[in-house]
Amino acid sequence: MKKKRILQLTAIGILIVTATIITYMPRHASSQHSITPINVFVHGYKGTTNSFGGMLNRFERNNWGNKALIYYVTRHGDVKMYPLNKGSREPIFIQVIFENNRASFDDSATWLSEVMRHLKNTYHIDSVNLIGHSMGGLVSLKYIEEYQDPAEYPATNKLITIGSPFDGIYSQYYFQINRDPAATDLKPDSPALQLLRSNRQAIPDDLAVLSIGSTGDMVAVPKSVHTLEEIVPANQLTEIMIENDNLGHSELHENRQVDKLIHSFLWQERKE
């Protein structure tokens, strides 16, 4: 009897969670196909929930949208989902958190693909916008290049990279204190960075890309940020380098000017 009771409670719990998620996600996302792209935020090297937490809170206060889900990927690649029942205002924001935030580009892109697969299979999401800070921008681009099966993954309409060093990090001191798979991939001329360049032909012709950098960023310096020009065709790329020597690498996702640039690229252009 006790085992039967446990099974009943488990079944009820699953039904409650499922109902909460379906209620929370937009109607078209829980029906046959989604129309409005979902906006997926991917943190960078050693990032946490806080990386985009402040930005998404500001977006919600500005009535720019609603943070719907947090996807948490364990260091073993298990995908866990946490719905946030705050309402149904669109656009929808989803935050992806990697427990192993020092993993290689390859592992991180694979984990991101599993999140996207879940969005496709569970919510029938057909299109997304990707927003990545630092290494999150590199991982997002790698995902776009390597995971394009429309039966398995949503199409990516727009990509925004914020302080992403596409030519690597030039500081030798940086690699004296950071020694892990991600740091190896972030070295200039690493095989991982070379692969991003060599796979540039796989970038969809209809992908729109915004690259945001700062003259005050001492990690992703302007020269490295501008290397995205060698990967993304000029007619698909918009580059904005903020002239502010006080705007450092970790301050980019806490900056109101960056907020407005993201808002304009994702939503204002669509309404025009």
pLDDT tens, position by position, 61-73: 999 999 999 999 9
Convert the pLDDT of each residue in 163-199 to its tens digit: 999 999 999 999 999 999 999 999 999 999 999 999 9
| Pick from 133, 162, 130, 125: nearest CA to 51 | 133
CA–chain centroid gap for 7, Å, is: 37
Average pLDDT over the chain reads 89
Beta strand pairing call for 127-133 and 38-42: parallel
Q: How far apart are CA 65 and CA 19, in angstroms?
A: 21
Question: 65 — alpha (psi -120 to 50), left (phi > 0) or beta?
Answer: left
| Pick from 169, 195, 200: nearest CA to 184 | 169
| Pick from 142, 166, 146, 152: nearest CA to 224 | 166
E strands, the chain, are 38-42, 66-73, 79-83, 92-98, 127-133, 155-162, 208-214, 237-242
Asked if residues 228 and 196 have their Cβ atoms less than 8 Å apart, the reply is no
Asked if residues 249 and 217 have their Cβ atoms less than 8 Å apart, the reply is yes
pLDDT for the residue 25: 53
Global model pTM greater than 0.75: yes
pLDDT for the residue 17: 40
Q: Is 95 helix (H, G, I), strand (E, B) or coil?
A: strand
Q: Over the Cα atoms of the chain, what is R_g?
A: 19
Residue 19 has pLDDT above 50, yes or no: no
Identify the CATH homologous superfamily for domain 2-271.
Answer: Alpha/Beta hydrolase fold, catalytic domain (3.40.50.1820)
Convert the pLDDT of each residue in 105-159 to its tens digit: 999 999 999 999 999 999 999 999 999 999 999 999 999 999 999 999 999 999 9
Convert the pLDDT of each residue in 26-63 to its tens digit: 444 444 444 578 999 999 999 999 999 999 999 999 99
Asked if residues 155 and 121 have their Cβ atoms less than 8 Å apart, the reply is no
Convert the pLDDT of each residue in 232-255 to its tens digit: 999 999 999 999 999 999 999 999
Q: Is 33 helix (H, G, I), strand (E, B) or coil?
A: coil
Residue 4 has pLDDT above 70, yes or no: no
